[in-house]
Amino acid sequence: MVLLIHCAEGGKKALSGMVRLGYRLAGDIRTFELPCSGRINETMLLEILQEDVAGIIVLGCRKDNCKFMEGNLRAESRVNRVKTLLKSAGISKKNVEMLYAAPDEGKRLYKAIHNFYEGTKAPAGC
């Protein structure tokens, strides 16, 4: 399973735009909404990764369009720290990624989510 954590503003609208274009998330991608992607922190990400998830996508507003000023940039920083921790611990089977999207980027968003999802299914070492 992949968990897609999105903000209630740009992330949610981007997902809605993607669906309006006819794109659908794979059946084992679950979504969770936060008021702002900047609410995510390293502890939350690491605790989620201890569960039965193959990866986490954090979806925020476009970098220049965060309603909470820089919440999406804080989220990116936290995601990058977790990625560094996982890499230094030699954990390659768990993936975390930060994505940004706007409502008019449905096709690009779908491709990014789909590629991440497919990457979580690849055998270790590939």
H and E: helices and strands count for the chain: 4, 4
Encode pLDDT of 1-55 as tens digits.
Answer: 999 999 999 999 999 999 999 999 999 999 999 999 999 999 999 999 999 899 9
DSSP state, residue 97:
E
Which pLDDT score, from 0 to 100, does residue 44 have? Answer: 96
Encode pLDDT of 53-110 as tens digits.
Answer: 999 999 999 888 777 678 899 999 999 999 999 999 988 777 999 999 999 999 999 9
Q: Record the pTM.
A: 0.92
- Sheet order of strands, 29-34 included: 29-34, 2-7, 55-60, 95-100
> Which residue bears the tokens 């993936």?
95
Structural domains of the chain in order of their starting residue, each with its CATH number: 2-121 (3.40.50)
